[in-house]
Amino acid sequence: MCGRFTLSSSEDQLRDLFQLFEIPSPQKKFNIAPTDDVLIVIGEEKRKMLSATWGLIPSWSKDKTIQSATINARSESVFEKPAFKTSFKERRCLIPASGFFEWKKNGPLKQPYLYGLREDTLFAFAGIYAHWTSAEGEKILSCSILTTSANDFISPLHDRMPVILEPKDYDTWLKAPYDQNTLLDLCGPYGSQKMTSYPVNPRMNNVSFESPLALERVEVQGDLF
């Protein structure tokens, strides 16, 4: 799964990778937690970046409490789950990130590790989004991150990982006519050899710790594996 991630890339990096003219402000957030606002890229006609709440609220939901259970959507079943299937068919997005966190038990504590790509400081999760309006008229744009089975690099800590898309597949994910097999082919585990990881400041375990220090490398005893 993906329960926490970070976006520390620059505005220019966002513009260049996603081919954007305008982006919302602010862009950077170092310790993104469920129900936080995140950036998404959609491409209905041309690409644009919007702010959305992390935790998808289906249009038919009576309230937004469902969000805590919809931050992730399993790619293997996203096309059949009531909360996700319409968004997977009609409203796919890219969710920019520069890394995501997983945890290892270290005695009584949980040591966080930051995972990212070796060659790039910015990438995109495969996402889906939805529009929701409450009975009182409140309008919310929300999203979920798709997950897949973990690659060998991540599996020592978790059996799932977020779906990371290659830039060459962005248009297919955003704009291609719905074809279940084509889309699911993009949802496999990302290559282990392309990824890197290091232990970070345990202060980021607190969701309120929003600081560049959340990404600070620390020394821990023992090997990750």
Judge whether 195 and 115 are in contact, CB under 8 Å.
yes
For residue 81, give the nearest of 171, 160, 144 by alpha carbon.
144
Pairwise CA distance, residues 26 & 71, whole Å: 21
Strands 139-149 and 72-74: parallel
196: Cβ contacts below 8 Å, ≥ 6 apart: 115, 116, 117, 118
- Extract the tokens encoding 217: 């490398």
- Residues labelled as active-site residues: 2, 102
